[in-house]
Amino acid sequence: MKPADQVEIWEAILADPLDWLPSSVTIPPPSQVEEYFSYVYGDDDMEINKFAQEPEDGQCHQQYLGEFILNKNGRCAPQGPRKRRIFPSESRGKKLHSRKNNEHWTREEVKKLIRGVRRYGEGRWTKVKRHYFSSSVRKPTHLKDKWRNIRRACGVPCRSKRKEKAQKTMFRPLDSKSVKEIRRLAKKHNVK
């Protein structure tokens, strides 16, 4: 890859870290990936898995990025579907239905959720669903639950009476720009 091409690609990433590279595009080797992530996450927050070997052709493809990311505790973010067992079972007289979907949220989905909240505000889950997840398996309730998880993971103070322990780590880390945006949106809602 020529240097000029690399500059172009990195500028695009830095402009919006949520926009991952197009899948067809190749990216520079781990040394530069590390440089990028230390810029985005800060040196203390993230650590690039240095043993990640460079592929034969000397370039890393997009899907390798996730594998490079380790959090502080050295825990790797879970990849792919969660492979939950299909059941129905019963517990204390309550019927538990089989899960229709159990996939981890992708960065793209989180990004769409952020955009939805930015446009409609927290709590307009059916609107967000219609405009951003119309063909998705995610239901309005899922969006609500996910936003709750996201708020917690981004350190937004909980507004409910019941005390919730502050979350320590994120298994699936977000970039700092998204975290800031989430906090901003949550704060805005609280003021109103």
Partner DNA sequence: CTAGGGGTAGTT
Partner DNA sequence: AACTACCCCTAG
Contacting positions for DNA (CB under 7 A): 75-76, 78, 82-85, 87, 89, 91-92, 94-97, 99-105, 122-127, 137-142, 144-146, 149, 152-153, 158-162, 164-165, 167-172
- Beta strands 60-61 and 26-27, pairing class: antiparallel
26 three-state secondary structure:
strand
Instruction: Give least dist CB 120 to DNA, A.
Output: 9
Shortest Å distance, C-beta 131 to DNA: 12
Q: 2 or 159, CB closer to DNA?
A: 159
CB 76 within 8 A of CB 70: yes
Minimum gap (Å) between residue 24 Cβ and DNA: 26
Identify how many contiguous H helices and E strands the chain contains and give both numbers: 7, 6
Residue 50, both tokens = 């240095």
**Phi, psi dihedrals of residue 123, rounded to the nearest 5°:** 105, -15
**Residue with Cβ nearer DNA (26 or 189):** 189
CA distance 155 to 179: 9
Nearer to DNA among residue 58 and residue 81 (C-beta): 81
Q: In the complex with DNA, which residue's Cβ is closer, 10 or 120?
A: 120
Provide the minimum distance between the beta carbon of 16 and DNA in the complex, in angstroms, as a whole number.
Answer: 21
Q: What is the SS3 assignment for 79?
A: coil
